[in-house]
Structure 1
Amino acid sequence: MAKHIVVTGATGNIGTSLVHELLRRGHRVTAVARPSARLDALAQAGATAAAGDLHDAGFLTGVLRGADAAFLMIPPNMQTPDFLAYQAEVGEAIVQAVRAAGLRQAVHLSSIGADQPAGTGPVVGLYHQEARLNGVDGLQVAHLRPAYFMENLLANVGMIQHMGIMGSAMRPDLKFPMVATKDIAAKAAELLDRDLEAGSVHYVLGPQNYSQQDAARAIGPAIGRPDLQYVQFPYDQAKQGMVQAGLSESMATLYDEMTRNMNEEKVMVNEPRTPAATTPTTLDEFVQTVFAPVFRQATAQAAQPA
C-alpha cells in the first residue's frame, strides 16, 4: 500500500538513495533538506521538496502533519563548536515536531554503539536521541544502527593524491563492520514499507568485517596504485589533521575518543553478526563503483589549469 513518507536529511548519501527507492516502490515522498541543487534534483525525480532547517520545530511539524511515516535523522555538522549540544538541540526539535504532528511511524537513523551512554564520541548523542524518540507516546519507532560507512574512506582521496598514502589514527589491522550507505537506505526503505515495532533496533553491518589495511589493498589496484599503504598516525597528529581539514575542535575530540576506544575494541567493533544485519555490497564493489570514480574525477580536476 502506498504511503506518504517524509525523509529528513534527504540530500545526503543515505537520504538521496532512500528517496529514490521509496519513489520506485510507489510511495509519495516529501524530501526535507536545506535548499540546494540536490534537493531540486529530488523534486525533478518526483518527490515533493520541503526546504528548511531541522532546528525549526514549527517547520518540521507542518511537514510531518498528515504523513504516514518518516525517516528521521540528525544531519552531520562537522563545524559546529559543540557537537553534542547541536545534536541535543536538533534532536529536541525533531521530537517536538513528531509529538505536535501526531506522527505514528518512524525509522530513526542511529548508529552502532548507540546502546552505550559514553565512550563512543559523536554516537553518544544518538544514544540520547533514541531515548527521546522511545519516550514519545504512540510513536512506533525503529532504530537503524549502521556500522562505519564505506563512504568515510573517501576522506583519503586528498591524502592519496598529495602524500601517496591512506592514514588515520585507527589500527591498521583492526577489523570492524563497514557498510555502504546505499545498503542502509535499502534497509530503511524495507522497514518503512511495513508496520514497525516500537523501540525496535536493526543493525546494518555490511557483508563482513574489514580493516583499514584491507581497504588500502582494495583501493590501491583500483586507482592504479597497487603499492598503496595505510599508515597509522599518532592520536594528536590525527586530531590536528582533522582540525586542519575543517572539523571543529569539538568534533575532532569526539572522533579521537571514538577511535581510541575502537582501537582497544571497547566499542563498535565486535557487534554479533546476524543474517538480518548483513548487507550485500562488498568493499571491492564499493571501491569499483564509488571510490575509484570519485578519485579519478578529483585527479582530473586537480590536473586542470587554474
Structure 2
Amino acid sequence: MKIIVSGSLGNIGKPLTAKLVDAGHDVTVISSNPDRKTDIENLGAKAAIGSVSDVAFLLETLKGSDALFAMTPPNLGGANVIANTTAAGKSFAKAIEEAKVKRVVMLSSIGADLPSGTGPITGLHNIEKLYNELNTSVTFLRAGFFFTNFYNDVPLVKGAGIIGSNYPSDIKIPYVHPEDIAQAAAEELQHTPAGKNIRYIISDVRTPGEAAKVLGTAIAKPELPWIEFTDEQALEGMAQAGIPEEIAKLYAEMGTGLRNGKIIEHFTASKAAVDGKIKLENFARQFATKF
C-alpha cells in the first residue's frame, strides 16, 4: 500500500512510520520542517515537505495513495487556534476528496463528540464533522490524554514539589501513550472497513491522584501531591510559564470539561476497550529519565 503519514516524525509519526515501513508499505511522511527530510529517508520513507493547510501541496502528495494518517498540529498558529485547526481540516478534506483516497485514519480525541466546552478539542470535533461528509472509509481514532503531557509539569514538580491542574485528584481520566496510538493507527491503516467508525485508543484509566503517586514514586517523591487549582490559578500559572493567553484559556476550558465529566462521558458510555499496552507504571519509568 501507498500510505501517507502526517505529523512528521513526532512521538506518533516516528514509530508509526517505522511500523509501516517494516510491514513493507510505500510510506511518505508529511513535514513542515525541511530539516526532517534526511531523518525521514533514514527510516525508509519518502519526505513531503509542506504545510497541511496548503490544499495544492496536499493534493499533490495524496495523489495515487491508498491510505492517509491525518493529524492536525496542536495549537496550530498560536492564535485563532480553533479556526486554524478547522481550516487545516478543510484543506485535508478537500485534498482527500479530490485525490480519491480510499482510507483515512484521523487522530482525534476523547470529547470530540462535543461541539463546545472542551478547549482545543473543539477543533477536532469540527474536523470530524468535515470528514463525516467524505465519500471514503474513515476511522476517528479518539485518543486519551497523552501521558507525555506530564513532562510539562517537571518544572512545577521541581520548583514547588507539587503537580496539579484545574480538576480534582479523584476523577477518572483516560490516558494514552503515543506509541500505543502509533500501533492502533498502523492496524487501522492496513484494513478498510465500510463507512465511518470510531475507535478509542486508551492505555490506562487512572485518577490524577494515582498519577501523582506513581510518578512521584518513580522520582523518589512518593508523597508528591495532586493539587486542584482554581481556573484563575491555572490561567495564572500558564501565563507565568509563557503560554499565550488564548491557548491558556483553551486548556483551562478543557480542564473544566474534565472536572464536570462531559469530556469522558461518551467514552465511558461506549464501554470501549482499554487496549493500549503502556500503563501508567510503564510510563513512570520514562518520566523518571526526563526528570
CA contact (8 A) 1:33 1:50 kept: yes
- Residue 201 of structure 2: which of 189, 201, 204 is its match? 204
- Asked if 1:107 is matched to 2:112, the reply is no
- 1:186-240 C-alpha deviation (Å, 9 max, x unpaired): 0010011111332111111223x21111111111121122222222222111112
Deviation at 1:57, TM superposition (A): 0.9
- Residue 180 of structure 2: which of 180, 183, 192 is its match? 183
- C-alpha change, 1:78 and 1:107, in structure 2 (3 Å) is closer
- Residue 245 of structure 1: which of 217, 241, 264 is its match? 241
Q: Distance in 1 between matches of 2:274 and 2:10?
A: 22
User: Structure 2: any 5+ residue segments left out of the alignment?
Assistant: none
Q: Distance in 1 between matches of 2:94 and 2:59?
A: 8
- Residue 165 of structure 1: which of 147, 153, 162 is its match? 162
In the alignment, residue 140 of structure 1 is paired with which amino acid? Answer: S
- Residue 50 of structure 1: which of 48, 60, 63 is its match? 48
- Asked if 1:232 is matched to 2:228, the reply is yes
Q: Match of 1:215, SS?
A: helix
Deviation at 1:79, TM superposition (A): 5.8
Q: Distance in 2 between matches of 1:211 and 1:283?
A: 11
The equivalent of 2:152 in structure 1 is 155
Q: Distance in 2 between matches of 1:146 and 1:15?
A: 15
Q: Distance in 1 between matches of 2:39 and 2:265?
A: 37
- C-alpha change, 1:176 and 1:270, in structure 2 (3 Å) is farther
Deviation at 1:36, TM superposition (A): 5.4
CA contact (8 A) 1:177 1:269 kept: no
Q: Distance in 1 between matches of 2:173 and 2:98?
A: 40
Q: Match of 1:271, SS?
A: helix
- Asked if 1:96 is matched to 2:94, the reply is yes
Deviation at 1:276, TM superposition (A): 4.1
TM-score normalized with structure 1 length: 0.89
Q: Match of 1:6, SS?
A: strand
The equivalent of 2:257 in structure 1 is 261
Q: How many residue pairs align between the two structures?
A: 290
- C-alpha change, 1:93 and 1:243, in structure 2 (3 Å) is farther
Deviation at 1:27, TM superposition (A): 1.2
- C-alpha change, 1:110 and 1:291, in structure 2 (3 Å) is same
In the alignment, residue 97 of structure 2 is paired with which amino acid? Answer: R
In the alignment, residue 255 of structure 2 is paired with which amino acid? Answer: T
Deviation at 1:33, TM superposition (A): 1.1
CA contact (8 A) 2:212 2:225 kept: yes
CA contact (8 A) 2:77 2:84 kept: no
The equivalent of 1:298 in structure 2 is none
The equivalent of 1:300 in structure 2 is none
User: Structure 1: any 5+ residue segments left out of the alignment?
Assistant: 296-306
- C-alpha change, 1:22 and 1:42, in structure 2 (3 Å) is same
- 1:26-68 C-alpha deviation (Å, 9 max, x unpaired): 2111011121555532221111111111111111111110111
- C-alpha change, 1:100 and 1:78, in structure 2 (3 Å) is closer
Q: Distance in 2 between matches of 1:172 and 1:269?
A: 18
CA contact (8 A) 2:8 2:32 kept: no
Q: Match of 1:227, SS?
A: coil
CA contact (8 A) 1:28 1:47 kept: yes
In the alignment, residue 284 of structure 1 is paired with which amino acid? Answer: E
- Residue 15 of structure 2: which of 14, 17, 20 is its match? 17
In the alignment, residue 165 of structure 1 is paired with which amino acid? Answer: I
Instruction: Give the RMSD, CA atoms, in angstroms.
Output: 1.8
- Residue 126 of structure 2: which of 125, 128, 131 is its match? 128
The equivalent of 1:303 in structure 2 is none
CA contact (8 A) 2:167 2:228 kept: yes
Q: Distance in 2 between matches of 1:259 and 1:26?
A: 41
- C-alpha change, 1:15 and 1:259, in structure 2 (3 Å) is same
- Residue 223 of structure 1: which of 199, 219, 223 is its match? 219
